[in-house]
Structure 1
C-alpha cells in the first residue's frame, strides 16, 4: 500500500505542531496518583475534568456516557502481573462512564474511533499504563482540531479497562447501534521506549505463533524501541499506513506489525481459548470492538514484556520518552485522518 501524495505532507505538518512538553504535562497531571472508579473515584473525576478541559480548549465537544452493568465476567485490577486464569472475576455490578468527543463540524461519514483507557490498577499511578495513551489522544485532538477539513474521527476515553474492558464493551455496543464505524485504533501503554539491546522480551510461544514478527525483534537486537501494531485482516491496510506514517515522523519510529489470525466477531474471541499466545494480542479495549465486528488495531509498547514498571507504583512520568510519544500521536492522527475505508489489505 502506498502512503499517497498527501500523507507525508500531513505527517510533516502534524510533526511541526506536536509538542512533547505538552504531552509530558498531561501525563504528569494524570499520573500523580492511581485512578479507578471503584478504588479511587475522586481521582477518576479529576482525570475526567482534565480531559474535558483540554478537549474543549482544542475545539472538541465532549459527552459523558454513563453505563451500569451487572454480572459481567472480567478481571481484577490489583497491581502486579498475574496469569490470566488468576485474574478472572465475575463482577456483580459496575457503574462507570466513558467520555466521547467529536468536532462540532462532524457529519454522517463513517467515523474512525481512536481510544485509550483512563483508569489504572490499584496502587499504580499508571504513567505508561495508560496516561501515555490518554496524553497521546489529547495531542491527537489538538492536531486534528487544527486541520482545515475536519476528519470523521471520534475520540473515546474508556473506563474500567483494568476490570476487563467493561467501558469499551459498553461503548462498542452503543457505537455499533448508533453510528457507522469504519474502524478503531486503541492506544495502550505507548510511552515506554528502551534502546538498549535485550530490553524487549516476548511471550511464551510467540516465536512459533508469529515467526516473522519475532525474527524482526531478534534481528534488531531485541531492543524495546519500537511500537507493536496489532491488527487483523480487516485492518491490515490501516496497520501498514500507521507503520509508514510512523517512519515519516520525527523522530522516525520503528514498528513491528502482528496479524491476529482470528476473525472479527464472537468466533474470534472463542478461538483464543485454543491458542494462548494469540490472547496477548487482545489485551486492551480494541478487543471489545473486534468482538462486535468492528475492524480495530492496537498500538502498544508491549507493556510487561518491556516495561518493568508495568502495574507497579514505579510506573511514573519520569520513565517515559515524550519525543517518541509525540511521534506516536502524529502517526495515529495521520492514520485516523486518512483511514483506508473499505480496504482489508
Structure 2
C-alpha cells in the first residue's frame, strides 16, 4: 500500500537511473560509502547475475490487472496460482496457508528455500514478502505487481546459493482488506512460538522520478526526506533497528536509500504502518518495509492508471539488485 516509486514527467520505463544523495535517519549508524566496490559489501562472486529485464516484464505482464476478492476473484485466484507455480519452478517447497475472511477461504502462498545441512536448516528463517491483491478499480502495477516481480527474481536466484538459514518467500493475500493475510500468518507464528530472523516486506517498488519536487513527505516524519522521488525507503520500528540498518547498508550501493526508524510500532506515524510489515510489528517480530512511498510519489496509486507503462523497469531492477545484496548479507554463507 504505502510504497510506490514515481516517474515525474514522461520518463519512460527504461529511463536510466542516476543516484541521488542519501538521507540518513537519526541514530541509524549504517551508512558507509555508497560508491565503494560492491564486492566489498557482499561476496557476490558467481551469484552476481545481471537482472533479466525480460523476465521482470514477463512477470509484470502476467500479474498486472485488478485482483480483488469481490470484483475480480478469478484474477485473484489466477495470481495465486501463478505465484505458486513459479515458486515451485524456482525449486522452492511450496505450501499454502488457508484462512477464513470475508465469508470465504483465502490463501497465503509460501515458498521455502532450505539450506542443505544442519545447523543451518534449524536457524531462524528470513522472510521476504509481498501482497498480491489489489483495491477495486486498479490494475495494481506498482501496488503491488512490482514487488511480486522482485520477490520472484530473488526466489529464482537463491537455489544456487549456500544458505545460512531458511528463506520463506510469502505472497500475502488480502493486504488491502486490513492486512488479513499477514495477520493470519503472524498470529500463527506467535501461536506456535516460532522465531524469525526478520521479515522484509516489499510494498510498491516500481515508480521513480528524477524531477525535483516529485516527492512528498508524510506528516511528522522526523528526518529530512529528499524532494526528488528516485529513492527507496527502508522503514523499521525500534525493535527492528538492527535489521533496518543491515538492509539499508547492503542496498545502498545499488540505489539511493532513505532509512527510517519509527518509535514504537509507528503509531504516531500512521502512514508508515500501511502494509504487511505492521502485522509482524504487532506480534513482536522484527520487520522492515521497502517502499517507494506510494501516494507520496505516485499519482496513480489505487487508481485505474496504475498500469504497466507507468513503471520504471530500471528502478525495479535496482531494487532487485539491492535486495539480493541484502539477502546475501542476511542469509547466505560466505564463500570459502
TM over 0.5: yes
2:6 corresponds in structure 1 to none
1:20 corresponds in structure 2 to 53
Shift of 1:9: 4.0
Task: Tell me if 1:65 matches 2:97.
Answer: yes
Task: Tell me if 1:96 matches 2:96.
Answer: no
Task: Tell me if 1:163 matches 2:163.
Answer: no
Q: TM-score, normalised by structure 2?
A: 0.81
Distance 2:234 2:83 in 1: 25
Q: Deviations over 1:59-104 (max 9, x none)?
A: 11111111014xxxxxxxxxxxxxxxxxxxxx6x453110011025
RMSD (Å) for aligned C-alpha atoms: 2.4
SS in 2 for 1:155: strand
Shift of 1:28: 1.3
Instruction: Give the aligned length.
Output: 293
Shift of 1:12: 6.6
Q: Deviations over 1:9-68 (max 9, x none)?
A: 44575553422221121111110x200223211111211121122112211111111101
Distance 1:290 1:322 in 2: 30
SS in 2 for 1:338: helix
Q: Deviations over 1:262-283 (max 9, x none)?
A: 1xxxxx47xx2xx3xx011110
1:121 corresponds in structure 2 to 135
Ranges in structure 1 where 5+ consecutive residues have no aligned partner: 70-90, 263-267, 341-345
Contact kept? 1:39, 1:122, Cα under 8 Å: yes
2:308 corresponds in structure 1 to 317
Contact kept? 1:14, 1:330, Cα under 8 Å: no
Distance 2:136 2:43 in 1: 39
Q: TM-score, normalised by structure 1?
A: 0.79
Alpha-carbon distance change, 41 to 18 in structure 1, aligned in 2, over 3 angstroms: same
1:40-59 equivalences under 5 Å are 40-59=72-91
Task: Tell me if 1:138 matches 2:128.
Answer: no
Task: Tell me if 1:303 matches 2:294.
Answer: yes
Distance 2:322 2:189 in 1: 24
Task: Tell me if 1:186 matches 2:201.
Answer: yes
Shift of 1:112: 1.2
Q: Which moved more, 1:51-60 or 1:144-153?
A: 144-153
2:263 corresponds in structure 1 to 261
1:201-220 equivalences under 5 Å are 201-203=216-218, 205-206=219-220, 209-210=221-222, 212=223, 215-217=224-226
Distance 1:339 1:148 in 2: 12
Contact kept? 2:295, 2:301, Cα under 8 Å: yes
1:231 corresponds in structure 2 to 236
2:285 corresponds in structure 1 to 294
Ranges in structure 2 where 5+ consecutive residues have no aligned partner: 1-29, 33-37, 332-336
Task: Tell me if 1:285 matches 2:276.
Answer: yes
Shift of 1:174: 1.3
The one of the two structures with greater contact order (alpha-carbon pairs below 8 A, sep at least 6) is: 2
Task: Tell me if 1:149 matches 2:194.
Answer: no
Distance 1:173 1:13 in 2: 38
Distance 2:40 2:161 in 1: 13
SS in 2 for 1:167: helix
Contact kept? 1:235, 1:297, Cα under 8 Å: yes
Task: Tell me if 1:241 matches 2:251.
Answer: no
Q: Deviations over 1:118-161 (max 9, x none)?
A: 00000111000000111111011012222133642111000000
Q: Deviations over 1:185-244 (max 9, x none)?
A: 1100011111111100122x33xx41x2xx241xxxx11100011112222222222223
